[in-house]
Amino acid sequence: MGYAVPPIEHPNTTDLPPDHEDDESEDLELVAEANGPIVLALSEADCGMRLDKVLSQHLPQFSRSRLQQWIEEGHVTVDGKTARAKSTMFGDEQLLVQPQAAADAHAYEPEAMALEIVHEDQAIMVINKPAGLVVHPGAGNWSGTLQNGLLHYYPPIADVPRAGIVHRLDKDTSGLMVVAKTMQAQTDLVRQLQARTVHRVYLALVWGTPQVGGKVDAAIGRHPRERIKMSVQNNLTAKPAVTHFRRLATGLLEGKPVSLLQCELETGRTHQIRVHMQSLGFALVGDALYGKPHLVPVFGRQALHACRLGLVHPVIRKDCEWQAPLPADMAELLARAGIALEPELQ
């Protein structure tokens, strides 16, 4: 749906500080300012205390967990020797601390990257995210994320929490995402998501043949044993999750039946479609986390694409909708399965 928007102007401001949300943000600045190792001469007041506690008292600018990590990694020595965090001090030792930049030191650094921008105006951007791109920095992915790319493409977005990202897609899920360029737009989009009025439609290829259509209304929470996974649960900590699905076509892959589904989200829980479909017995093709291990090599990622996104524009208050065609890898997968897409889905 088209509508008129004012021309885009990109300010040249490149020094806006990112909005740090973690408790360690001050540590990064202090580490960056440190010109070398820190030497501490202990006194009688330190006698009887653990090494990590002594350090936290002498170096309150660093979190205790950060100091414990440095001790474990050998960046703290006591009279020239490494020690354990719980080692007792006698009060006459000399400590040498080598401050280390946090693993997340690059989380808020701008990085140039190609972004497929489907729509942009003064308030929002709609991006077609490729598979393989991580949205938020996190453990193991502190750089090269969509957030880093947004900070480079539009530096003023550093003033918006999480660089304007209001919802996310899994690393190996492709498709449409909306990003807020202002605090006002972000607040409005978050409210729309909370009110479940944002229209998000996905295409998913699953193993098996589900019924023609249905609704999965099952709460999702962190898996009790495998912490990297989510699961359908019935307890107070699980969050409500609702997915509507419709079977569009069926085919064969590796001699086994597969089905192309259109899935629409009411809620946006972590791994929601993957968990809900797996709970019905129809895991996504290529899903290494929730799928069938012996069938994962058939496709290099979960066969999931966010093909349609609809919302009320946070400024002009008009209904807007965007579509993204299937990426080449998923289109090829459907062709292998003998599934022909309707023109509007291609």
Question: Would you please indicate which residues are annotated as catalytic (active-site) residues?
Answer: 170
For residue 263 the two structure tokens come to 């899935």
Classify residue 58 as exposed, middle or buried by CB count within 10 Å of its CB (0-12, 13-18, 19+): middle
Query: Quick check: helix, strand or coil at residue 152?
Result: helix
124 φ/ψ angles, rounded to the nearest 5 degrees: -140, 160
Return the C-alpha torsion angle 75, 79, 81, 83, nearest 10.
-70
User: What's the per-residue H, E or C state across 161-230?
Assistant: HHHHECCCCCCCCEEEEEEECCHHHHHHHHHHHHCCCCEEEEEEEEECCCCCEEEEECCEEECCCCCCCE
CA–CA gap between residue 258 and residue 296 (Å, rounded): 13
Which of 21, 30, 108, 41 has its CA nearest to residue 67?
A: 30
Residues 99 and 31: beta-carbon distance below 8 Å: yes
Answer left, alpha or beta for residue 215, where phi above 0 means left and psi between -120 and 50 means alpha. beta
C-alpha distances out from residue 66 to 24, 29, 72, 115, 339, Å: 8, 14, 10, 34, 52
Q: Vertex 138, ends 196 and 327: CA angle to 5°?
A: 60
Sign (positive or negative) of CA dihedral 57, 62, 63, 67: negative
Instruction: Enter the DSSP assignment of 299.
Output: S
